[in-house]
A and B are shown apart, each in its own frame.
Chain A
Amino acid sequence: MFLKKLILGGLTALFFSSSLFAADCGPNGQSIRILASDFPAIHAIANSAESNCAGSASEFTRNHTTEARQIMNAAQTPDPAEYTSVIVANSTLVQLMNDGLVRPLNDLVEKYGGNLKSNQLITIDGKIMAIAFMANSQHMYYRTDILDKAGVDGMPATYDEIISAAEKIRSAGIMEHPLVMNLKVGWNVGEVFNTIYLAHGGEFFKQGSAEASINNAKGIAALETMKALVEYAHPDHLTQASDDTQGLWEAGQAAIGFMWGSRGGVILDNEGSSAEVTSNTVLSAAPTVTGGSIPGATLWWDGITIATNVSDSEAEATFAALVSGMTSEMVAANNDDAIWLIDGFKPGPAAAGVSATAQGGAKSYPMFAQMGLLHNALGAELVDFLKGSESAEQALSDVEAVYETAAKDAGYL
């Protein structure tokens, strides 16, 4: 009897002491299955969750794919869902919420979220739907050596200053096309319009309705700005997305860039480029319109969600594991991979652009349920204007017409 008590007591002590050191992984023996996009910061979070909690789970699988957005709804609709967690961003959270595929996390946050900061909680009508861990946005990249050579004072802060700087570089004979932007037909070109339209103070929808309202003076001004910028962009700009613009920048073929913050670390590291390019590249805030104050960018966050169609204990184990990965040690080990929203982040040069853009008061990517449809319409219909075969009014009215047709079919109008 005494022996039995001793062993039991010893085991309990062992259990408590080990749980003091190890992360709290929630219920044991559960299956944890994660679907996520494929970039270093997300790997860092998932790695840390896996090393903490894979031991206490019956299964820990990860699917990192850039096509996550395309498969997530189909994968999460059946019951049980294919993944217990999807790592999302602003727009993809909406995509999952539209079909009711993510569960509110309030009780889980109460139980396991002791080290989360309040600004990490993404709440919709008071319900916590996701836990953000990093931020991202577009902003400006400059080559200071080339700006100096062309006689540009300081770094351009408005669209007009960018255009005149580009003109100076061109007329000085340094580069014919000094500007790079992600203008690939489809999502990218639509996103560039979104940023410039927001800088002009535009609203995407009529208040409280799903009716688009972009065919207005602000929309036209945004398009005119876009066209003026495109004059200085690489001739193939309609085929260029992030990988291509990053490549041009690293090859030293551009002096002014409007690119994603998440590319900052990759561009500034000592791989894939020359010291001349990296040492003279400076990241700064997204531009405003002359006399305006809103930076032309959309702020993004990436965060974790938990599936609706899984058992409560699987949901709990998955949440505990992922949150256990969000520690300052993880951030310290991967500091330059992202703009972390987690304690312990030390902003380096690669974070300067996003911080300045967020502090300048840039807007978040709009979270309207029907935003994706408008974004698609923009991506398809603005191209004729940029090619010069259509007026700005015509392009914007085409966008609204295309959006209206699609929104009716999808049941939003």
Chain B
Amino acid sequence: MKHSTFLLFTLPSLSVMFLFIAIPIVSVFIQSLHIEHKQVIIVSENCDPFGCETTTSVDTEASTKLKEKAPLGKFNGFKTYSNRMHFAFDEIGEAWNSSDSFIAFVKKIYNYPLYRALSFTLTYTFVVTPFVLFLGFLVALGVNNLPKLLKGPTIFASLLPMIVTPLVGSLILFWMVDGDGVIGATLQKIFNDNSLSLKASPVLTWVMLMVYGIWHLMPFSFIVFYAGLQTVPHETIEAATIDGASKFQRTRHVVIPHLMPLAIFITLILLMDNFRVFEPIISFRAEAHATSISWLIWNHLRESAYPLYNAAGATSMITIFCVGILLLPVLIRTWRDFNEKNKG
């Protein structure tokens, strides 16, 4: 294809990407460099049904004037990125100097929101992704070997976890693991411990969130692998059978290599999806034990009457950066494969 034709072909999607992806990202980035103007605070006498007290309030007239002059806010450079809510460079330097062991240092780092969120987000991503890949493949193999009559209903049932809205799915599980719920009460009985609570223990909360994540995402990898399995060439399988390959050997040496490009595709999507884990944390009310990067963005914007756009913007940029790093190995590999194919 000529380059100019290719360009014309992709022009619509490129311009949409520019409008709805590139421009917003740039605008978020610019916002992350600015903070609010200094609020003009006045001391005021405040009387309510219970008495009078001296408090403070914002002089809105003076504050509005400042805002009108520069609507973006006060330029703050990269200070939002380096402050305690994000990379906390100063605090970490201090922690490094004041800790006598590496473990003490790590413990201190864990005190800062971004690192705490990163530790859960990364653990979640690297535990859930391989499990989903592997289990999804197994389920696809299993379904593929079923008699025709059973295939339809089984596929439908296996897709259910993905069809259920994440918030609803995790809420159902949240009620089930409650001390009075089916799972929670059964566990208490098995371990003979009436105060055993999945919600109160950090480790069990992490496990619960990851099990939920695997349950919720498995149908995705299953259905992609299942579609892929339909394209495995019969001739090769037959040839392998004639050569005396066992079922396991056929899967290992014929099916898996055939599905490898799909596996890479699923890994890419799963890495991106899992890195943005958010809903289960809200539904499980797990904030005490597990926070994620996406949860941080939400928290900056929502939990306060004072939305911190700069902090949310900075966390968003960090998310994009981290997703980029996560995807880099896979992307490099794809690029190499592409180049090799072109050479051959």
Question: Interface of A with B (CB < 8 Å)?
Answer: 69-70, 73, 90-92, 94-95, 97-100, 119-126, 132, 135, 176-177, 184-187, 205, 208, 210, 234-239, 299, 301, 341, 358, 362-364, 366-370, 372-373, 376, 379-380, 383-384, 387, 390, 394, 398, 401-402, 405-406, 408-412
In the complex, chain B residues 39-69 whose Cβ is within 8 Å of any chain A Cβ: 39, 41, 43-51, 53, 55-58, 60-61, 63-64
Give Cα distance in the complex from A25 to B178, angstroms. 51
The answer to whether A405 touches B84 (Cβ under 8 A) is: yes
B125 at the interface (CB under 8 A from A): no
List residues of chain B with CB within 8 A of the CB of A363.
Answer: 50, 53
**Which of A97, A205, A380 is within 8 Å of B57, CB to CB?**
A97
Bound complex: CA A185 to CA B303 (Å): 11
**Chain A residue with minimal CB distance to B60?**
A100
Q: List 13 additional contacts besides A122-B49, A185-B285, A187-B303; criterion CB under 8 Å.
A: A94-B57, A121-B47, A132-B49, A235-B199, A367-B55, A372-B304, A384-B111, A401-B84, A406-B304, A406-B306, A406-B308, A411-B38, A412-B39
In chain A, what residue has the closest Cβ to B34?
A409
* Beta-carbon contact of A124 and B305 below 8 Å: no
Closest residue on chain B to residue A248 by CB atoms: B180
Q: Which residues does B use to contact A, with CB under 8 Å?
A: 35-39, 41, 43-51, 53, 55-58, 60-61, 63-64, 74, 76, 80, 83-85, 91, 111, 113, 178-179, 194-197, 199-200, 202, 284-285, 287-289, 299, 302-306, 308, 310-311
Q: Do B56 and A119 touch (CB < 8 A)?
A: no
| Partner of B37 from A92, A94, A358, A411 at Cβ < 8 Å | A411
A44 to B64, CA, bound (A): 36
CB-nearest residue of chain B relative to A237? B200
| Cα of A70 to Cα of B303 in the assembled complex, Å | 8
Q: In the complex the two chains form, is A97's CB within 8 Å of B48's CB?
A: no
Contact A301 B49 (CB under 8 A): yes
- Complex Cα distance A95/B197, Å? 37
Choose among B38, B44, B56, B306 the residue with the greatest number of A CB atoms under 10 Å from its CB.
B306
A-B contact pairs, 5 of them (CB 8 A): A123-B46, A235-B199, A236-B179, A236-B200, A239-B199
Please tell me if the beta carbons of B50 and A364 are within 8 angstroms of each other in the complex: yes
Instruction: Please name all residues of chain A whose beta carbon is closer than 8 Å to the beta carbon of B55 when the two chains form the complex.
Output: 366-369
Query: Which of A97, A184, A208, A239 is B60 in contact with, Cβ under 8 Å?
Result: A97
Question: Which A residue sits closest to B301, measured CB to CB?
Answer: A70
Q: Chain A residues with Cβ under 8 A from B57's Cβ?
A: 94, 97-98, 124-125, 367, 369
A408 to B311, CA, bound (A): 11
How far in angstroms is the closest Cβ of chain A from B173?
Answer: 13
Docked pose: A234 CA to B43 CA in angstroms: 42
Could you say which of B44, B60, B85, B196 has the most chain A C-beta atoms within 10 Å of its C-beta?
Answer: B44
Return the 7 tightest CB-CB contacts between A and B, nearest first: A100-B60, A411-B36, A95-B305, A239-B285, A235-B197, A238-B288, A235-B200
Per the bound structure, the CA–CA distance linking A132 and B200 in Å amounts to 39
Q: In the complex the two chains form, is A122's CB within 8 Å of B305's CB?
A: no
Task: Determine which of B39, B45, B197, B288 lies in contact with A125 in the assembled complex, contact meaning CB atoms within 8 Å.
Answer: B45
